[in-house]
């Protein structure tokens, strides 16, 4: 009998006794006949069990749920969402560009007011945005990779201009187009890289974004001297080029706005924090207008056989530049651990040109409007944007 009692209540748990505390009665937990894991019978003494006490989970929709946020918190969340939309405006760039292009085709007068005299200020504003959003620490880290920077620079100002000259020869000798058409293709090939390359690199390989920014910034800064020199070497004998005027214009459009943005970011960071909220949507708007306006101004020419021929040449030039940059970087960095990421980054740097810059130069330094057709088509193509 004693052994059966011990077998029945072998799970008795005794609380720890203290010299200054009266012992509490034991709580007996039988180890058998448990009907449910959420319903455990508790016994206060040996032979009189208490009823089962079910353990229930609180409903998610019960009245004990926390009260809704006060109006102040809701307003703060709305303001935060607006700030996020302003900061992420660059992600809407492809959609806004497409809308601008469609608007230029369907209703050209909506954008024809944006004439050539507005291109230089618009490009200067975009370069100012680059300077404000630049940080010297990112550049210092990226400068620790000189081989990658040199390869990207070589693709930007050696491989790409040679490809442009090749397609210029195809346009003039094979297709029988005028030298002004070939000059427009070479002009697109000799300008610096576009800021869209950094954005494309950020989407595919975020760790390479600072390196892409350094490559684009170096090509943009050195374009003051390199672009006029390349144009003089490649097409100087065919068309007159004002090298001094071009250097002065590039300095005004590129160097000064970037320098102002960097200095403002360095010495007035609070002002820059406010400006940065509005720069992304304004940059997207300015870029969309700059992309749609050339199409609206030259829509009839682009519909002609000449425009179709130039379109095919420009698209072929961009594709060949992407492929050349990818192959070049793959050969140079074939033993690198991040060779694929480097190939994509340098391919973007080689294939994406600052076509707005080329369009501004064409409108200012070339009397024949045909020179501006290739830069205008390059502006509206998805592979080129400043």
- In 3D space, the residue among 78, 104, 6, 92 whose CA is nearest the CA of residue 284 turns out to be 92
At 87 the pLDDT is 58
At 34 the pLDDT is 44
- Domains for the chain: give ranges and CATH numbers: 1-60 (no CATH), 93-380 (1.20.1530.20)
CA distance 206 to 204: 6
DSSP per-residue codes, 20-87:
TBPPPPPEE--SS---BTTEE--BSSSS-BPPPEE--PPPTTSTTSPPPPPHHHHHHHHHHHHHHHHH
Structural tokens at position 188: 């697109």
Q: What is the pLDDT along the chain (386 residues), one digit of tens a residue?
A: 445 554 544 454 444 444 444 555 555 454 444 444 444 444 444 444 445 445 445 444 444 555 555 555 555 454 445 555 555 666 677 788 788 888 888 888 888 898 878 877 887 887 788 778 766 666 677 678 889 899 999 999 999 999 999 999 999 999 888 888 999 999 999 988 876 676 677 667 777 877 887 888 788 778 878 888 898 888 875 555 566 776 777 778 777 887 888 888 888 888 888 888 788 888 888 878 877 887 787 777 777 888 888 889 998 999 999 999 999 999 998 888 888 989 999 998 898 887 777 888 888 788 788 888 888 788 766 555 44
């Amino acid at each position: 009998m004693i052994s059966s009692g011990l077998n029945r209540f072998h799970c008795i748990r005794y609380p720890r006794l203290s010299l200054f505390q009266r012992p509490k009665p034991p709580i007996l937990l039988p180890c058998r006949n448990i009907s449910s894991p959420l319903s455990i019978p508790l016994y206060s003494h040996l032979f009189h069990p208490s009823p089962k006490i079910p353990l229930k989970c609180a409903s998610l929709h019960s009245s004990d749920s926390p009260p809704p946020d006060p109006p102040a918190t809701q307003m703060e969340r709305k303001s935060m969402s607006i700030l996020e939309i302003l900061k992420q405006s660059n992600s809407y760039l492809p959609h806004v560009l497409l809308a601008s292009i469609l608007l230029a085709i369907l209703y050209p007068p909506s954008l024809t007011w944006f004439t050539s005299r507005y291109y230089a200020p618009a490009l200067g504003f975009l370069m100012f945005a680059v300077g404000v959003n630049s940080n010297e620490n990112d550049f210092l880290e990226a400068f620790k990779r000189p081989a990658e920077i040199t390869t990207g620079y070589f693709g930007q100002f050696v491989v790409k201009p040679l490809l442009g000259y090749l397609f210029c020869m195809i346009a003039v000798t094979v297709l029988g187009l005028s030298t002004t058409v070939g000059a427009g293709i070479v002009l697109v090939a000799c300008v610096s890289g576009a800021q869209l390359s950094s954005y494309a690199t950020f989407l595919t390989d975020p760790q390479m974004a600072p390196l892409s920014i350094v490559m684009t910034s170096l090509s943009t800064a050195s374009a003051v001297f390199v672009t006029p020199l390349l144009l003089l070497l490649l097409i100087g004998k065919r068309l007159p080029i004002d090298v001094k005027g071009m250097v002065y214009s590039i300095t005004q459009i590129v160097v000064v706005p970037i320098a102002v943005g960097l200095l403002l970011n360095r010495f007035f960071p609070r002002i820059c924090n406010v400006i940065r909220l509005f720069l992304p949507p304004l940059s997207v708007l300015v870029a969309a207008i700059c992309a749609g306006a050339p199409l609206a101004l030259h829509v009839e020419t682009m519909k002609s056989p000449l425009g179709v021929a130039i379109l095919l040449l420009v698209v072929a030039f961009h594709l060949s530049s992407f492929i050349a940059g990818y192959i070049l970087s793959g050969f140079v960095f074939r033993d690198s651990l991040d060779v694929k990421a480097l190939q994509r980054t340098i391919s973007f740097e080689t294939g994406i040109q600052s076509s707005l810059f080329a369009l501004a130069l064409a409108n200012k330094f070339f009397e024949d409007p045909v020179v501006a057709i290739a830069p205008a088509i390059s502006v509206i193509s998805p592979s080129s944007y400043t």
